[in-house]
Structures are given as structure tokens and as C-alpha cells.
Amino acid sequence: MRKKIIAGNWKMNKSFEDGLKLAAEVVHTADAEVPADVHLVMCTPAIHLAAVAKLTASSRSVATGAQNIYQKDSGAFTGEISADMVASIGVKYVILGHSERREYFAETNAQLADKVNLALKHGLTPIFCCGETLAQREAGIHFTFVKQQITESLFHLSPEQYATIVIAYEPIWAIGTGVTASSSQAQEIHLEIRKHLASKYGDVGQDTSILYGGSAKPSNAKELFACPDVDGGLIGGASLVARDFIDIAKSY
């Protein structure tokens, strides 16, 4: 059965103190208000991970996620953080392949395949991001492009390895622009992604949670989540306001 997941990506925001305050408010409110079948994940900057993981350890609703890991297990890679380090403090999820990482840090599908392997090796659940630019959508190659991202980074996995993967579809043209894909656009490409996953992994692919990652907010979440192939959201700006994040989760 597909999990309903609302993952918040804090990006490079919140001081340590402000981050802990936000996390505590989310945990307290979520456990009281969010339905038991909806899973929340707070993906924080690295400085918050250990403290937030302690906060979420006893929560019935909320888990902690990292925003990235390096593609090697250890070594002389100054400034990087490994899957083993992240897992060792109780973090459960990790975002991989976010469009900002692909654009600003030139992450490739091959590098992301290595990161996926290490995440799984250390018991982390990857939230694997894919998505197209406005130019690619207007050129009519968005389905092909997104399928290639998935194929080159995930299709080397066995069905058993693949089973825990979460997909986050990001229409890059709708991130931070205030533009949101219509519910019909979201459903169309989520269904296309699901068919592609099922072509490789059968029922395991059908059971994949696919999140929408393009400027979801309390005002549009209910309509997006009503789509049969949208299983939640990867939330950016709205995840920095506890009330907004909770209200999005309650939209299910």
C-alpha cells in the first residue's frame, strides 16, 4: 500500500535555535492533529539533524530526513556528510537529486545512483527527485527526460532494494516561482511515472509513493492530493511555517 507522505525541505534556512523551535512545534501539533495514516518528514540542514532526530524519535507522525549525502562512504571529502553519519543519529530519510543540487552542484544521474546505493546500504529511505524545466516541457520532452532520470539512477536496483524508494516529482518551472502545476498536469505526469516504474518493478512499482514537489501550499494541497497518483508532497517554503506544514498534511 502506498504511504501518504508530506516531506518538508527546509533548504538552507533556520538558525539552530529557530530550527529546533519549528521542529518541536511541528512534532507537538502533528501528533495531536494529523491523521495516523499520514507520515511527515522534516528534511533539515545538517546542523539540525541530530537534535531534530531526537525530537522525532518518539513521535507517531514525524520523522527526520537529510537533504543530501555524499556518494562515498568515507574519506578526504571536506565539508561532505556520509550516509553512515546520517543514519547513525537516527535519521530515516534523505532527499536525493533535488533540482537545486542537479543545477548548482552538477549532480549527475550516475552520481545519484551511487548515493541511492549508499542510502539503502545504511537503511535510509531515499526521496528521489526528478523533474523537468519549462523549456523541456514546452519542447514536449518532459516525459522522456523524467523517465531517463529514473532509469539511470534507480533501475539498477533489485525489486527488494527498490521497494523502499519514494519518488518526488518536481516541475522545476513551478519551484519558487509561485506557479503551480494544475492538478490535471500533476496527475498526468505522476501516472506516467507510475507506469514507468511498474514497467520495471511490477506491483512494487505500482506501490511507490510519488510526491508532488512544486509550490504546494494549504490553499491548493487538497486539490492536488485528490489526484489518484499523487501520494503527498515535497514542500519547500510552506514547511518553514509549522501551521502551514500541518495544514497541508491535514489536507489529505
Predicted local distance difference test score (pLDDT) of residue 35: 93
For residue 125, what are the β-bridge partners?
93
Chain segment 169-228, per-residue pLDDT in tens: 999 887 766 666 789 999 999 999 999 999 999 999 999 999 999 878 899 999 999 999
Chain segment 89-118, per-residue pLDDT in tens: 999 999 999 999 999 999 999 999 999 999
C-alpha 80/C-alpha 247 separation (Å) is 34
Predicted local distance difference test score (pLDDT) of residue 195: 98
**DSSP H stretches of helix in the chain:** 16-33, 49-56, 83-88, 99-104, 109-121, 134-138, 142-154, 159-162, 183-201, 203-206, 218-225, 242-249
Contact between 188 and 115 (Cβ < 8 Å)? no
Distances (CA, A) of 147 to 42, 185, 224: 27, 16, 22
C-alpha 205/C-alpha 196 separation (Å) is 8
Predicted local distance difference test score (pLDDT) of residue 192: 97
For residue 4, what are the β-bridge partners?
38
C-alpha 172/C-alpha 100 separation (Å) is 9
CATH of domain 4-249: 3.20.20.70
The mean pLDDT value for 221-236 works out to 95
Predicted structure pTM score = 0.96
Please give the DSSP secondary-structure letter assigned to residue 139. Answer: T
Q: Provide the mean pLDDT of the chain.
A: 95
Predicted local distance difference test score (pLDDT) of residue 215: 78
C-alpha 151/C-alpha 101 separation (Å) is 18
Chain segment 127-186, per-residue pLDDT in tens: 999 999 988 988 999 999 999 999 999 999 999 999 999 999 999 887 766 666 789 999
Predicted local distance difference test score (pLDDT) of residue 182: 87
Chain segment 2-35, per-residue pLDDT in tens: 999 999 999 999 999 999 999 999 999 999 999 9
Please give the DSSP secondary-structure letter assigned to residue 52. Answer: H
C-alpha 86/C-alpha 203 separation (Å) is 30
Distances (CA, A) of 190 to 76, 155, 166, 215: 39, 17, 12, 16
Q: Which of 1, 85, 89, 82 is nearest to 39 (CA)?
A: 1
Annotated active-site residue in 98, 142, 190, 196: 98
Predicted local distance difference test score (pLDDT) of residue 216: 85
C-alpha 142/C-alpha 194 separation (Å) is 15
Annotated active-site residue in 100, 107, 132, 170: 170
Residue 122 annotated to the active site? no
Residue 170 annotated to the active site? yes
The mean pLDDT value for 238-251 works out to 97
